[in-house]
Amino acid sequence: MIPLKRPLSHPSFIFNKSNSKSLRSLIKNTRSTNETFSSPIPIFYFKFSDSTMPIFAANSSSFSRVNTHFPDSVNQPTLTSKAQTFPQIRTFCVKRTNPNAELSASNDIPIVSTVSGPIQTSQPIDAGSSMRKPISLWPGMYHSPVTNALWEARSSMFEKSFAEKDSQTELVAKTPSMSRTSIAYKFSSDYILREQYKNPWDEMRMGKLLEDLDAFAGTISYKHCRKDDGATRPILLVTASVDKMVLKKPIRVDFDLKISGAVTWVGRSSMEIQMEVTQSTPDSPDPSDSVALVANFTFVARDSKTGKSAPLNQILPETEHEKLLWKEAEERNKMRKQKRVAEKKDVDNRDEDRLNTLLAEGRVFCDMPALADRDSILIRDTRHENSLMCQPQQRNIHGRIFGGFLMRKASELAFSNAYAFAGAAPCFMEVDHVDFFKPVDVGNFLRFKSCVLYTELENPMKPLINVEVVAHVTRPELRCSEVSNKFYFTFTVRPEAMKEGLKIRNVVPATEEEARRVLERMDAERSQ
Last residue of a domain, one of 318, 341, 362: 318
What does pTM read for this prediction?
0.71
The per-residue pLDDT of the chain, averaged, comes to 75
pLDDT tens-digit map of 397-456? 677 888 888 999 999 999 999 999 999 999 999 999 998 988 888 888 999 999 999 999
**In-domain check, residue 39:** no
Query: What CATH number did the domain enclosing 274 receive?
Result: 3.10.129.10
Query: Does the pLDDT value for residue 468 go beyond 80?
Result: yes
**In-domain check, residue 211:** yes
228 with 289, same domain: the answer is yes
Query: Does the pLDDT value for residue 383 go beyond 90?
Result: yes
pLDDT for 425 equals 94
pLDDT for 269 equals 92
289 with 405, same domain: the answer is no
More confident residue, 234 or 30: 234
280 with 376, same domain: the answer is no
> Which residue segment(s) compose the domain that 314 sits in?
143-157+171-318
pLDDT for 384 equals 97
Last residue of a domain, one of 318, 343, 371: 318
More confident residue, 136 or 448: 448
Mean pLDDT score, 13-32: 49
Alpha-carbon span 127 to 144, nearest angstrom: 9
Last residue of a domain, one of 318, 335, 365: 318
Query: Does the pLDDT value for residue 527 go beyond 60?
Result: yes
Query: CB under 8 Å to 100, separation ≥6 — which residues?
Result: 156, 159, 160, 230
pLDDT for 125 equals 62
Are 199 and 208 contacting, i.e. CB atoms less than 8 angstroms apart? no
Report the side by side order of strands in the sheet with 36-38.
36-38, 44-48, 54-58
Alpha-carbon span 520 to 528, nearest angstrom: 13
Query: Does the pLDDT value for residue 66 go beyond 60?
Result: no
403 with 297, same domain: the answer is no
- Our count of domains for the chain comes to 2
pLDDT tens-digit map of 312-358? 999 999 999 999 999 999 999 888 877 766 665 544 555 788 888 88
pLDDT for 401 equals 85
Alpha-carbon span 454 to 252, nearest angstrom: 28
371 with 249, same domain: the answer is no
Helix (H, G, I), strand (E, B), or coil: what is residue 409?
A: helix
Mean pLDDT score, 294-305: 91
Alpha-carbon span 455 to 184, nearest angstrom: 36
152 with 272, same domain: the answer is yes
Alpha-carbon span 162 to 231, nearest angstrom: 6
Query: Does the pLDDT value for residue 74 go beyond 50?
Result: no
**In-domain check, residue 118:** no
Query: Does the pLDDT value for residue 272 go beyond 80?
Result: yes
As a whole-number percent, the residues of the chain with pLDDT over 90 amount to 41
**In-domain check, residue 374:** yes
Residue 145: pLDDT band with limits 50, 70, 90 = low
**In-domain check, residue 91:** no
Least confident window among 67-71, 174-178, 459-463: 67-71
388 with 512, same domain: the answer is yes
254 with 359, same domain: the answer is no
439 with 523, same domain: the answer is yes
Alpha-carbon span 350 to 341, nearest angstrom: 20
Alpha-carbon span 256 to 123, nearest angstrom: 15
**In-domain check, residue 22:** no
More confident residue, 22 or 319: 319
Alpha-carbon span 490 to 456, nearest angstrom: 10
**In-domain check, residue 448:** yes
